[in-house]
Every structure is written in structure tokens, then in C-alpha cells.
Structure 1
Amino acid sequence: MSSSSSSSYRKRVYTKFGDKGETSLLYGGRISKNSPQTEAYGITDEAVSAMGLARSLTEDQRVKDIIRDLQRDLFTIAAELATDPDKYELFQQHFTPVTEAMIEDLENTIDSLEEDFEMPTVFVLPGGTPGSSALDMSRTLIRTAERRVVALAETSGLTNPLIVNYLNRLGDLLFVLARYHDRELPIERATGERS
């Protein structure tokens, strides 16, 4: 590949700084790619991407709008988790940390959705539609993120403990949202039996 003179002005995607198993934190600092902190914000980032897939697979505008708002919240949570606790004030200058009001918004969204359809009372086998499948995948990633954040809190400390509450409620919302997405389809029960 030839290099042009303009390439010296553009920032490269690769830095090679991570080649030794470390990664940079937001606002400075480096940690192992295997640290509880990296695990916590990494799985949160995975969930943001999975939710993007879910958003692209649904035609339901209400579902799209809810997912977009959740992705924005999660992006901020990932940034919060990727911030060195000593630099938390810098994070607060650029982002709004998770608040009780954000958790209440999730609860209100769950309540609003449940008013518009009847939730199944049985275990549901995921896979009704591509959109609900991606929402269920997002839910499982959020449950993993929740466990990783709890592990981070237990090992290194957590600057904002409300993140755990938010992720817990978000997992519930994604379950409800997947069921709402497929509300007009017959429910495929998870029975453990083969047909």
C-alpha cells in the first residue's frame, strides 16, 4: 500500500499500545485487558452493539425509540465504568452518571409496555423473530454485565453503585421488550421436552 501525504494528518485506528495486554482508561491510566474493570465496560459495550442489531431488525417504531435511548444510556455507563475512579470528576464534567431518575424511567417504561399487552406466564423459548431474538441476546449480555459490575464492586470498588440497579432493571426491561415485540405471535413455551 502506498502512503499519501494526507495520511500523516489522519489519526490511525491502531495504536499498538494494546499489544502487551493493556488498555487505556478514559481520561488517562492503563489497566490489564483482563481486569474486572475492563470486563465490566467491555461486556457493556457488547450489549450496546447487540441492542443496535435489535434496533436494526425491528420495524416497530416504539421499540426502536426505546432501544435507541437505552443504547445512549449504556454508552454513558460504559464510559463511567471505563473511568479511573481518581478521574471521576472529569467524567462528571462530560457525562451524567446513572441516577435514581434513570432507573425510575426504566421502571416506567416496563409499566407502560405491560399495560399494552399481556405478558406470558410461562417460560418463553427465544427465537420468535429476529428482533426479539436480538433483544433476548441483549438481555443475556446485560445480565452478564450486571455480574461483571458486581464483581468489580467486590474487588476494586465501584464509584457509582446505582449502575448495578440500572443494569438489573434494564435486564427486566429487555425481557419485557422482547415479549412486547412478539406480542401478536403465538408463544413458544420452553418446556424442556423434545417434540
Structure 2
Amino acid sequence: MFKLYTKYGDNGQTGLLYGGRVSKDDIRCNAYGTVDEIISSLGLARSFSTSEEVNKYLRVIQVELFTVGSELATDVNMYETMKSNFKVIGQDNIDYLEKLLDYITPKLELPRSFVIPGSNSCSAAIDVSRSVARRAERLVVNMHEQNLLNNDLILVYLNRLADTLFALARYAEIDTGFDSLDKAKIDYDLGR
């Protein structure tokens, strides 16, 4: 019978793809774990969405993020082996996000101030994903600075991803509208 537990990580270490063990607190684990959070929160967004179109876009992004996570979980010395067996993030993935942005953005009436997430469950979950994507981007910058990043296009991809998720969250609010922070309209009435 297959068991979900191996006990190999009980000492605080985990294995990288194609070998090598590192602390579970290693920057690589933090980075690919954060990418996994994006995948999961996009799944939550999909479960809330009533739009087949939005679901399609989110699923494509989820699949691409598995590629990002795999790359981040591969030791620098084993990257060529991984690359010969699996797809890696390329310019085509970035192009997809940019084309999606170019398609969605003209349909939106973007605010001139900060958006307050929560107009509907789907858009709120996408906004959570966007925030997590920015955290992943910061972690990957740290990996890059430590010469642990094999593919610099991942940095570009994550940057574009956060922009795309912002637009998708607004797109998911097209029917409900969005709430934005307009300093002239802040209501400080706390029910007093």
C-alpha cells in the first residue's frame, strides 16, 4: 500500500529534485512552497468562479506554476538534467500572460486608487494569489542574488503573473464592481 509519509523529513531536511538534501527552511523550499500556495489559492478562486473563461485562465496559470515550482526545487548542479526531461518556463509563458493582460485590460475600468479586495469570493481569492505571487517573486529575487536560480525568466514570469492576477481579479468583478480606496470618501464611522 502506498503511504503518503516517508519519515525522511522528520529531521527538518527535505530532498531537492534530482538529489541533494537541504533544510526545510532553505530559500528554495520557501520559494517553491510559496509557489505551491499560489497554485492552491488559485484553486480556491476557481471553486468560487462562475465564469468558465476565468476558470480556463486560472487553470493554465496553475499548470505553469507547477513548472515554476519544479525548477525552483531543482539543485543548480542538476538543472540541465531536469531541463532535458521536463519543460521549463520560457518566453512563451511570459507571452501568454502578456497577451492575456492585453486582452483583459481594455475591458476593465481600472481605479485611480488602491482596490479594496473582497467584492466577490472569486476576485478576493485571486487577490490573495496576487499577494502571494509578489512574496514568491521576492523569494526568487533572493535565490537569484545567491546564485541559486537556474532560469532568470522565472523572475520575469512572476512579475508578470502578479500584474495578470490583478487584472483577472478586476475581470472577475466585472458584474459586481470593485471597491477602491478614495481618500475623499473614507467613512470613519465605526458605529458610534
CA distance in 2, matches of 1:158, 1:134: 28
Q: Does 1:117 align with 2:118?
A: no
Deviations 1:3-33 (A, max 9, x none): xxxxxxx221111111111001112111110
> What RMSD in Å do the two structures reach over aligned CA positions?
1.3
* Aligned residue number for residue 187 of structure 1: 178
Identity percentage of aligned residues:
42
TM-score (normalizing by structure 2)? 0.92
Question: Paired residue for 1:150, among 114, 136, 141?
Answer: 141
Q: Answer whether contact 2:111 2:180 (CA < 8 A) is retained.
A: no
* Aligned residue number for residue 53 of structure 2: 62
Q: Does 1:162 align with 2:144?
A: no
Using the TM superposition, give the Cα deviation of residue 118 of structure 1 relative to its aligned residue in structure 2, in angstroms: 2.4
Please list every run of 5 or more consecutive structure 2 residues that lacks an aligned counterpart in the other structure.
Answer: none
Using the TM superposition, give the Cα deviation of residue 100 of structure 1 relative to its aligned residue in structure 2, in angstroms: 1.4
TM-score (normalizing by structure 1)? 0.91
Moved more, 112-121 or 81-90: 112-121
Please list every run of 5 or more consecutive structure 1 residues that lacks an aligned counterpart in the other structure.
Answer: 1-9
Q: Does 1:77 align with 2:68?
A: yes
* Aligned residue number for residue 34 of structure 2: 43
* Aligned residue number for residue 3 of structure 1: none
* Aligned residue number for residue 77 of structure 2: 86
Secondary structure, counterpart of 1:12 in structure 2: coil
Using the TM superposition, give the Cα deviation of residue 98 of structure 1 relative to its aligned residue in structure 2, in angstroms: 1.0
CA distance in 1, matches of 2:8, 2:29: 15
Question: Paired residue for 2:98, among 107, 115, 121?
Answer: 107
Deviations 1:53-103 (A, max 9, x none): 111110111100000000000011001100111111221133211111211
**Equivalent AA in structure 2 for residue 145 of structure 1:** A
Q: Answer whether contact 2:108 2:170 (CA < 8 A) is retained.
A: no
CA distance in 2, matches of 1:187, 1:25: 42
